[in-house]
C-alpha cells in the first residue's frame, strides 16, 4: 500500500524524490488502525470527525440500499478507537488552523 523501498538509490536526488513520495503516501493515503483507520493528516488537521461522519452516512446509505448484505447487527457502528481530535508536535497558531480548515 506504500511505495516499496528500492535496494539502493541511484543518487541523492533519487533518494530525496523517493522519500518525498513515501512520506506523502504515509501521511495522506495510508490508513492506520491505531488512529481509527484515519490518515495521520486527517488526525493532524482535525478532519477525522468529518471523515467519521462521511463514513457513517455512506454506511447508512449502503444499509438502506442493500439490507440483505448486513447481519442482524445492521445498526451497529464499526468500532472506532478513541483518539484525540487533532495531534500536534508544535501546535500552530489559531490563524494557521483556520487556514487549514
Contact 46, 56 (CB under 8 A): no
What is d(CA 21, CA 26) in angstroms, rounded to the nearest whole number? 9
The yes-or-no verdict on residue 101 having pLDDT over 60 is: yes
| Length of the chain, in residues | 101
- Closest C-alpha to 2, from 21, 16, 14: 21
pLDDT in tens, 47-66: 888 998 998 899 889 888 98
Domain ranges (residues) in the chain: 12-100
pTM of the model: 0.63
What is d(CA 84, CA 96) in angstroms, rounded to the nearest whole number? 19
What is d(CA 44, CA 92) in angstroms, rounded to the nearest whole number? 11
Q: Check residue 13 and give its pLDDT.
A: 97
Amino acid at each position: 500500500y506504500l511505495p516499496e523501498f528500492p535496494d539502493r538509490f541511484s543518487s541523492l536526488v533519487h533518494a530525496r524524490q523517493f522519500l518525498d513520495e513515501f512520506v506523502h503516501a504515509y501521511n495522506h493515503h495510508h490508513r492506520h488502525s491505531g488512529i481509527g483507520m484515519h490518515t495521520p493528516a486527517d488526525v493532524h488537521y482535525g478532519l477525522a470527525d468529518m471523515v467519521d461522519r462521511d463514513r457513517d452516512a455512506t454506511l447508512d446509505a449502503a444499509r438502506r440500499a442493500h439490507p440483505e448484505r448486513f447481519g442482524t447487527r445492521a445498526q451497529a457502528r464499526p468500532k472506532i478507537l478513541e483518539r484525540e481530535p487533532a495531534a500536534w508536535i508544535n501546535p500552530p497558531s489559531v490563524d494557521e488552523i483556520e487556514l487549514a480548515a
